Structure 1
Amino acid sequence: MMKKTLLALTCIITLTINAFAQNTFNKAKLDNLLEVLATNNRRMASVAISQNGKVIYQKATGIAATDMPATVETKYRIGSISKMFTATLVFQLIDEGKLQLNDPLSKWYPKIPGADKTTIGLMLKHRSGLFNFTNDSTYLTYYKQTQTEQQQIARFEKLPKAFDPDTKSAYSNTNYVLLGFIAQKVTGKSYAQLIKERITGKLGLDKTYAGGAINTKKGEAQSFKYRNGWQPETATDMSIPGGAGAIVSTPAELTRFIEGLFNGKLVSDSSLKVMKRLNGNFGSGMFAYRFDNKTAFGHNGSIDAFNSALVYFPDEKFTVAICSNGGTFSVDNLLLASLKIYFGQAYQLPVFSNVKLTDAELTKYTGIYGIVQAAMKITIAKKDGVLTAQATGQSDFPLEPIGTDKFGFDPAGIVITFDTAKGELNIEQGSRGTIFKKE
């Protein structure tokens, strides 16, 4: 889910794996990877791997709170993996004849733009054209405050359509907040009740639920950013993400959830087929993750400084779940590394330089950088001895020194190179670079 970065969500991951035959799983190497990331303050993570319905690997690193180390029992906010849970609820109601894929949004919320042509099915697949409310300029003014359904709907009614329904696909949290509300209206029960009665209760998951304010005394993790030590990140009020991102869980329980979903314990076979059917990159509440000629299904998530990933290979009956509460090393890269190690592929543990710059060295980069062709500006600042970048309307993110006048932000694949003589920075993402001039 929720806060914005300069990079949109990547839905399909491709990796060449020569064979899916089980090799000897080098657990020590995966242990070493997680320790290297934690020791170098690049990623705190909890990982679970399941084969044939049995958890065969678990390890947690880092802290859950400032005074509490993380364990494999620590519970994390999982962000947009929550959408898999919400989609499951919707398809259960479809199986029961209480909802239909072609039901229009206008049946419940007629004042939302395009509601008469926006259906449950389009919302599930991110083809609704509903504007992603977390991209709205006002989002950061209220995300820490409890919101009612009426307040959320009033905002959604004012947002413009992103595009006409069913003309293209674009990820939008708005879809799943609304689906969560609709499930509540159809059943007369709260989202938290529905998750407990229809999913976690059926699967015996006692560490998975719709979250509220973080309670570290109950084993719930805070999230952190690393700035001269792990600093707690501000927490989103969970009334806001709702069906798009409010679930709390552990990696081991996430493996049981997705295995239960694919093994017929939650929805009908016909509904699961619809969930898996891709339209572009999107299924209904899930993505496809392709490795050579094999396909996994799952989702990833991000809320505050929490990041997560969950993938299941139906043919191999193999699952990987990752929950994290801080770090700049990409969780997608950690997922790929875990798969390579599990399947005996070549993988070299990362080496980090841990370059430290003086306050004076950082100061020469600070300032506001703009571009003539667009209104967006990038503010470069110092916080606790770390250089940060913040684009207009977005939250700031830390920059790590990776070379002379060069800094990176690994989760978004961003590299910023400064030319202090010219007063410029070049921000690169993928193969694209843009020059910003210091004001």
Structure 2
Amino acid sequence: MIIKKLIPAFVLIPFLMNTVDAQLQSKGYKKKIDSIIQTEFGNKNEPGGVFLITQNGKNLYRKAFGKANLELNVNMTPDNVFQIGSMTKQFTAIAILMLEQGGKLNTNDPVSKYIKDYPNGDKITIHHLLTHTSGIKDFTKIKSLSTIAQKEMKPEEMVNFFKNEPVDFAPGEKFDYNNSGYIVLGYIIELVSGSTYENFIKKNIFDKAGMSHSYYASDRKVIPQRAYGYHKKEQEFVNKTVISFSIPFSSGSLMSTAGDMLKWQQALNQNLLLNSKETQKAFQKYKLNNGEEFTYGYGWHLKDINGVPDLEHGGSVFGFKSMGVYIPSEDIYVIGLSNCDCHSPTEVTKMLAKATLNKIKTSTKKP
């Protein structure tokens, strides 16, 4: 009888040891993640950020740092809404592919098919715009940008602002990151769909993916749980520079939360927005005219962490910075959002992805 009573205890001991070991590993992992983030986001009295790490859709780490609003002394929470800057380009690219899947356009179409008077528009294709290989002038490098920065511009007016600038190179000659190309894409989305870019993204992406805390940016609308943006000037913080969101438009004017950005990644993984063949167009490498391959798809950089392929993109707009990394082979998604352009989540997010990948690789190794 005594032996029978002891058996369950012996059975339980390895189980308890494994559970404790897993907890210790988890605590060690979270401590490492904290230490990586705190190098850049450690001051709780400054503007801060939110970081989310998931695997297979489950949270491994979710935490907020610093202040969402300095004037009101409001702490950041994991649910705060941020401007995501150039991560907007992912949504613009997928919107174009949705229109292609619906038979409304083709990525090989010349720009002139939609904007008749666009200079060299018969040689610049939608593909060139998506891959930053068009050669058209990036509007952020035009000196007169400050004269329109606070004006409400129609998409056509934004295109007219830069379309007659001298080109930097012939279409397809090289890769050079370019905001103007994504403005043109936003305008084409409006022309083809008959809807505003804002409404198209909301109806066809945000609503379908359940992204109820994502918006086309506005300084006038009351946006629940908005994180306010800041700059650092010498030793002080100041409120972000005000610009019209019609300027970055489809190249950088969306807002979201870490949780909604996870829903975005999951919607892509589950082919909720596009079929797998069309989705793959966003995540493949393309070649220049000379046959040289470059590491950008449609709205994503295609890189690797320790030889493991990943998809990544960052964003920067007055007062905010963002960075997202996805590792398809392990279904790891890492998103970092910051409400001061003095604190960049770019390297931090990459380091978090690397640490998470290492943890998973180590824990799955057989003894």
Same fold (TM over 0.5): yes
Q: In structure 1, what is the equivalent of residue 165 of structure 2?
A: 159
* Map 1:200-219 → 2, pairs under 5 A: 200-213=206-219, 218-219=224-225
The Cα of 1:259 is off from its aligned counterpart by 2.2
Give me the whole-angstrom Cα distance separating, in 2, the residues matched to 1:182 and 1:243: 10
Q: In structure 2, what is the equivalent of residue 48 of structure 1?
A: 52
Give me the whole-angstrom Cα distance separating, in 1, the residues matched to 2:96 and 2:216: 16
Give me the whole-angstrom Cα distance separating, in 2, the residues matched to 1:126 and 1:183: 17
The Cα of 1:108 is off from its aligned counterpart by 2.2
1:263 aligned to 2:305?
Answer: no
Give me the whole-angstrom Cα distance separating, in 1, the residues matched to 2:42 and 2:304: 31
1:239 aligned to 2:243?
Answer: no
1:119 aligned to 2:114?
Answer: no
Q: In structure 1, what is the equivalent of residue 91 of structure 2?
A: 85
Q: In structure 1, what is the equivalent of residue 7 of structure 2?
A: none
1:139 aligned to 2:145?
Answer: yes
**Contact persistence 1:308–1:331 (CA under 8 A):** yes
Q: In structure 1, what is the equivalent of residue 301 of structure 2?
A: 287
Give me the whole-angstrom Cα distance separating, in 2, the residues matched to 1:157 and 1:342: 44
Give me the whole-angstrom Cα distance separating, in 1, the residues matched to 2:156 and 2:100: 25
SS of residue matched to 1:315? helix
Deviation digits for residues 67-92 of structure 1, max 9, x if unmatched?
13221111101011100001111101
Q: In structure 2, what is the equivalent of residue 274 of structure 1?
A: 281
Deviation digits for residues 225-269 of structure 1, max 9, x if unmatched?
223332112133111111111110011211220221122111121
Q: Which amino acid aligns with 2:51?
A: V
Q: In structure 1, what is the equivalent of residue 204 of structure 2?
A: 198
Give me the whole-angstrom Cα distance separating, in 1, the residues matched to 2:129 and 2:245: 21
Give me the whole-angstrom Cα distance separating, in 2, the residues matched to 1:217 and 1:253: 15
Q: In structure 1, what is the equivalent of residue 321 of structure 2?
A: 307
The Cα of 1:193 is off from its aligned counterpart by 1.1
The Cα of 1:162 is off from its aligned counterpart by 1.5
Compare the two structures and name the one with the higher strand fraction: 1
SS of residue matched to 1:310? strand
Q: Which amino acid aligns with 2:67?
A: I
Taking a change above 3 Å as real, the CA distance of residues 328 and 46 of structure 1, as seen in their structure-2 partners, is same
1:38 aligned to 2:41?
Answer: yes
SS of residue matched to 1:205? coil
Give me the whole-angstrom Cα distance separating, in 2, the residues matched to 1:204 and 1:217: 17
Q: Which amino acid aligns with 2:136?
A: L
Q: Which amino acid aligns with 1:208?
A: S
1:181 aligned to 2:184?
Answer: no
1:63 aligned to 2:67?
Answer: yes
Give me the whole-angstrom Cα distance separating, in 2, the residues matched to 1:215 and 1:56: 33
**Contact persistence 2:118–2:163 (CA under 8 A):** yes
Aligned residues: 323
Compare the two structures and name the one with the higher helix fraction: 2
So what's the TM-score if we normalise by structure 1? 0.69
Structure with greater Cα Rg:
2
The Cα of 1:169 is off from its aligned counterpart by 1.4
Q: Which amino acid aligns with 1:223?
A: G
**Contact persistence 1:27–1:57 (CA under 8 A):** yes
Q: Which amino acid aligns with 2:79?
A: E
Q: In structure 1, what is the equivalent of residue 363 of structure 2?
A: none
Taking a change above 3 Å as real, the CA distance of residues 94 and 33 of structure 1, as seen in their structure-2 partners, is same
Q: Which amino acid aligns with 1:212?
A: S
The Cα of 1:217 is off from its aligned counterpart by 5.6
**Contact persistence 2:213–2:260 (CA under 8 A):** yes
Give me the whole-angstrom Cα distance separating, in 2, the residues matched to 1:50 and 1:341: 13
**Contact persistence 2:110–2:123 (CA under 8 A):** yes
SS of residue matched to 2:338? strand
Give me the whole-angstrom Cα distance separating, in 2, the residues matched to 1:46 and 1:326: 12
**Contact persistence 1:180–1:243 (CA under 8 A):** yes
The Cα of 1:331 is off from its aligned counterpart by 2.1
Give me the whole-angstrom Cα distance separating, in 2, the residues matched to 1:215 and 1:93: 29
Give me the whole-angstrom Cα distance separating, in 2, the residues matched to 1:150 and 1:195: 18
RMSD: 2.1
The Cα of 1:197 is off from its aligned counterpart by 1.2
SS of residue matched to 2:33? helix
Q: Which amino acid aligns with 2:65?
A: T
Give me the whole-angstrom Cα distance separating, in 1, the residues matched to 2:223 and 2:195: 28
1:249 aligned to 2:259?
Answer: no
The Cα of 1:327 is off from its aligned counterpart by 5.1
Q: In structure 2, what is the equivalent of residue 26 of structure 1?
A: 29
Which ranges of structure 2 fall in alignment gaps of 5 or more residues? 1-24, 287-293, 360-367
SS of residue matched to 2:261? helix
**Contact persistence 1:211–1:248 (CA under 8 A):** yes
1:95 aligned to 2:105?
Answer: no
**Contact persistence 1:43–1:327 (CA under 8 A):** no
So what's the TM-score if we normalise by structure 2? 0.82
Aligned residues with identical type, % of pairs:
28
Taking a change above 3 Å as real, the CA distance of residues 254 and 112 of structure 1, as seen in their structure-2 partners, is same
SS of residue matched to 2:335? strand
The Cα of 1:97 is off from its aligned counterpart by 0.6
Give me the whole-angstrom Cα distance separating, in 2, the residues matched to 1:139 and 1:53: 41
Q: Which amino acid aligns with 1:58?
A: R
Deviation digits for residues 313-370 of structure 1, max 9, x if unmatched?
111011001111115454222113313443457xxxxxxxxxxxxxxxxxxxxxxxxx
